[in-house]
Each structure stands twice: as structure tokens, then as C-alpha cells.
Amino acid sequence: MSEARITLISRVGCHLCDDARTAVARVADETGVGWRELDVDADPERADEYGDRVPVVLVDGREHGYWRVEEARLRDALAGRRWSLR
């Protein structure tokens, strides 16, 4: 697997995080990119920044979205097409 381009910031026991994990894994498999998952509660700075918004998806270290994974938009970001949080 290639270096992680997608980072999923999640929390144990979060049903939205479970849904996001499934969606991120699907997109990563389809596009051949690597991904990793970080526990928001394992790092105080991460918890301060993202704690109320998990799950959060980062693409190449930049915040891509939170709460729900928009798979088509995530594919666009990975392909280098324009995307924004709005």
C-alpha cells in the first residue's frame, strides 16, 4: 500500500466514525491510495482541534470534511480536482 494520503480522525464507540471508516476504506481501495486512522482522544491537541467534529477526514494533511464522508468529493480530491469545504 502507498503512503497514507487519507487520514480519518475518529473516536471509539462513534457510529458515524464506523460509517466513515467503511467509506474511506472503499474509496482508498478503489483509488489505490493509502489511509490511516487516528484516535482523536489519544492526543490532547488533536482532541482540542477535532473533538466535537469527529469523524474528520484529511486529504494530504488538509481538512476535507467532517461528520459524513462524501465519497465522490473524496475521489475528486484524490484525483487532484478542485474541492473545498463549502
**Measured distance CA(16)–CA(61) in Å, rounded:** 21
pLDDT for position 84 = 56
Helix (H, G, I), strand (E, B) or coil at 41: helix
pTM listed for this prediction: 0.90
Average confidence (pLDDT) over 66-83:
90
Give pLDDT tens digits for 24-42.
999 999 999 999 999 999 9
Give pLDDT tens digits for 56-73.
999 999 999 999 999 999
